[in-house]
Amino acid sequence: MLIGHIDYLNLLPFYQFLKKKGIKVKKSYPSKINEMFEKGEIQAAFISSIKAEKKRCFDVGIAAKRRVKTVLVCKGEGEDKESATSNVLAKVLGVKGKVVIGDKAFRHKDCEDLGRIWFERFNLPFVFAQFCARKNYARYESLIKEFLKTRRKIPYYVLKEYAKRADISYTEAKEYLEKVIYYKLGWREKKALKKFWKMSKGIK
């Protein structure tokens, strides 16, 4: 298996799951993972939602209802080079400022949370990435089903280290994974994806 991995706190449960199974990954940030996927350097990954349309994807992604905490627009201007979906989402929502995503977003205050704005406007969750594969679909489907059924227990020292890296407390990191981020995509998440894809047409 050649799996790309977004090395953010929001996918730590998936990384721990793969590590326990002895599956190695290629780590990077979202826009780089997208590029690696397109070039065939990896077979599967959570790729940015804006790139997932018409790809062979599964009913699992990085989703949030209401706030997401790690996809922000702050004072200033410019896109986040690590992002693909969030840069477009800011334009879709008409939110001006500097896009900031990932663990570094925890350190930014007084910013607009794009997940919250999306929910308030459309009463839908937002899906920031979706797990897709280029080949060996049945094998990856089996892996994803197992992940969704597995109890996600992260060792204390591992989560504490990620929390330290993000400059947040262990408690905040735990709450983020348990109450903010989730992975299973149902009909509401799929509806949100279709809406986002439709609204993003023509936006670069």
pTM assigned to the model = 0.93
Q: How far apart are CA 204 and CA 192, in angstroms?
A: 19
Contact 10, 70 (CB under 8 A): yes
For 82-109, write each residue's pLDDT tens digit. 999 999 999 999 999 999 999 999 999 9
Model confidence pLDDT, tens digit, residues 5-60: 999 999 999 999 999 999 999 999 999 999 999 999 999 999 999 999 999 999 99
Q: Report the 10 Å Cβ neighbour count for 196.
A: 22
- pLDDT tier at 204, thresholds 50, 70, 90: low
CB 105 within 8 A of CB 72: yes
* pLDDT at residue 1 in the model: 78
Report the percentage of the chain scoring pLDDT > 90: 95
Contacts of 81-85 with C-beta under 8 Å, sequence gap 24+, read 81/31, 82/29, 82/30, 82/31, 82/32, 83/30, 83/31, 83/48, 84/30, 84/31, 84/34, 84/48, 84/50, 84/51, 85/30, 85/48, 85/49, 85/50, 85/51, 85/128, 85/129
Q: What is the average per-residue pLDDT within 159-177?
A: 96
Q: Where are the domains of the chain?
A: 3-199
The predicted pLDDT at position 203 comes to: 81
The domain 3-199 is placed in CATH, from the list 3.40.50.720, 3.10.20.30, 3.40.605.10, 3.40.190.10, at 3.40.190.10
